[in-house]
Amino acid sequence: MSVQRKPADGFALATMVVLCAIWGMQQVAVKLAAPHVPTMMQMALRSGVAALLVGLLCWLRGERGLLLRGPWRAGMLVGVLFSLEFLFVGEGLRHTHASHMGVFLYTAPVFSALGLHWLVPSERLKRTQWLGIGVAFAGIALAFGGGWLHGGLGPGVLLGDTLGLLAGLAWGATTVAIRVSALSEAPPTQTLLYQLVGGVAILLPVALLTGQAGPITMAPVAWASLFFQSVIVCFASYLAWFWLLRRYLASNLSVFSFMTPLFGVSAGIYVLNEQADLSFAVGAVLVLTGILIVSGAGLLRSASALKPGAT
């Protein structure tokens, strides 16, 4: 039976804040481990470890054979899209900065909102919501504009930025593919397992063929980074994300992820010694304003529905 999805409420907002903080830090984690583990190998290892954890969770819950008895065609599609996203991320981070990758990767909500607008009637965006998306995206561009102007753009950085944009497109397409297929009603563990298995099946051979399978030196920072990426990001946060997608409107949730680059920059300031300037502060205000424009109405409706006597 189809699940009726609702606008984002306070619980969804709080959960998305936590998820965005986790996702914002993952680019920094990849950069920190890059001297010890090649980026493409990191992408493959984190998918493999997380796939084992999800498989163990399914076994403990009695959810066995999910890959075989589920909507495997849709599962293969999202597995390929997931692999493409992190192939572009892993390769892109070899050429560009983590902050740049954050900007272009998190254009994903724009792509998913556009796709859902055309394919799912209940997810159509109103004029004010389009305005909110525009304001939020302008805020992201402004928040990172100072870094672009001061650092310049060489051919390598441009290549990395392009790969980051392609990663955002792949992530947005993944969200749309899940929402419009039978996976929208599937258990979160099944959806995630399709993606993780696809990730390790594609990314590990790519790492081997491109010479990025080694050398590997498992320094403490590498262990910590891979634990964070595998257990916290790919296992726990993605399960939470797919759980939310089954209960709330995807367009509402995707817009909240505009917060992610803000957390990424904050992590960069404290971990990678990146500089923050006035453009970031103004951009942050614009991003939060855009989120309120797009999702404020849904939050207010949900809040009034919880009041005593509300009908």
Cβ–Cβ < 8 Å for 222, 34: no
Q: List Cβ neighbours of 297 (8 Å cut-off, separation of 6 or more).
A: 7
C-alpha R_g of the chain: 19
Q: Return the pLDDT at 251.
A: 62
Name the stretches of the chain with pLDDT < 70: 1-3, 65-68, 143-155, 250-252, 254-255, 257-258, 274-281, 284, 288, 291-292, 294-311
pLDDT tens for residues 40-69? 999 999 999 999 999 888 888 877 766 667
Burial class of residue 41 in the structure, from the number of CB atoms within 10 Å of its CB (0-12 exposed, 13-18 middle, 19+ buried): buried
Q: Return the pLDDT at 9.
A: 78
Q: What angle do CA 130, 135, 140 make, to 5 degrees?
A: 125
Helix (H, G, I), strand (E, B) or coil at 181: coil
Nearest CA to 286 out of 172, 128, 141 is that of: 141
Q: Return the pLDDT at 309.
A: 39
Q: Return the pLDDT at 298.
A: 46
Q: What angle do CA 145, 174, 167 make, to 5 degrees?
A: 35
pTM of the model: 0.79
